[in-house]
Structure 1
Amino acid sequence: MTQTQADDQVRARMMYLLFAHEPYYLGPGTMEINTTVVAATTLLHPHVLQPDGARIHDLLIHGRRPGEIIPLSTLTHELDGGAGWPDVGDWERVISDLVHLVRHGDCDALSLGLPDLARALICAGPHSQVRALDSASGKAVVYGAAERAAVMTEITKFLAALVTERDLWPGEGLLGDAGPP
């Protein structure tokens, strides 16, 4: 194994994928879960569509910093607004597989119920704008990169507090050499 491959594997154990999905509830009277963070290595789980998950994993970790949370929308932005996804893989199926893993306890995750605006900012690309109607004034308000960064900062703080004792477990039987840290 080359030094670069070893460095990528160590870095990947401390990197995360953030994605929005169809809302679900853990039980009656619980908060809606509509956004999830998983360890990047969860993409290498055998119950995630492969080789698509591995290709998304490679895209996710390449050139990133340890501890970084990468929204799926950032990958879409980097892939020419999504035009490059067919060359990488079926991201929709991979996300569906990840949600299934999380819901069945086959990996650890940070499950979030983000408010509509925060979720929209995460779903928008890093340089996109989200327009919302201010009900009081009846005028459109534009939210952009600064507000998205603020949402990401809050998610990063929450995740950091969660993983202080133990990082997110990506599941069993991962492809390659990406086992537990």
Structure 2
Amino acid sequence: MPERGYVPGGYELIRASKQDFQRKDINQRPVSGKLLGLSYFYKMKMTRREVMNLYLSVIRECLETGISPRCHLEDITRSDIYGFVIPFCVELMKLMDEYKIPIKIRACDTMGYGVNFPGAVIPRSVPGIIYGLTTHAGVPSELIEWHGHNDFYKAVNNSTTAWLYGASGVNCSLFGIGERTGNTPLEAMVFE
């Protein structure tokens, strides 16, 4: 239904690797999701700068082919917000300005560690994460999504908080089924 603004054919979800991106079927989609691990640099045996450069090179390759990337900031509630996430998102916004193609940011609370308590600090603070993305990294609200897991039964609260602080979208599943411990239930967010 292109007349309603729906993206035909959905989008692909791949790791932030050039090998995954170079698959022929990936390049036929208008939008591509990239999994960008934020908390496990030691597993990659790379410095943070090397990881950032790798991720940015894959995003640049997407943009050069006209694909609008959706960057999944995995493990955001276990990451170095001001040492990596904010500088990385600043660079993404520069690429977005250069290529004039939107880059969506999906803040993923992959372990369900996020909280919305007053006084909570980042990286656990959901308000702090969204505030940091919008204010310090300059990511427009309409390009921020929240993807919360329900390990500690906070997916609905954290999703609502992300909305209230500026995220324009929340990723949901029916009855909370999916991805290990479950995601934010769509039916709960309808009431929110």
Higher relative contact order (CA 8 A, sep 6+): 1
Normalising by structure 1, report the TM-score. Answer: 0.29
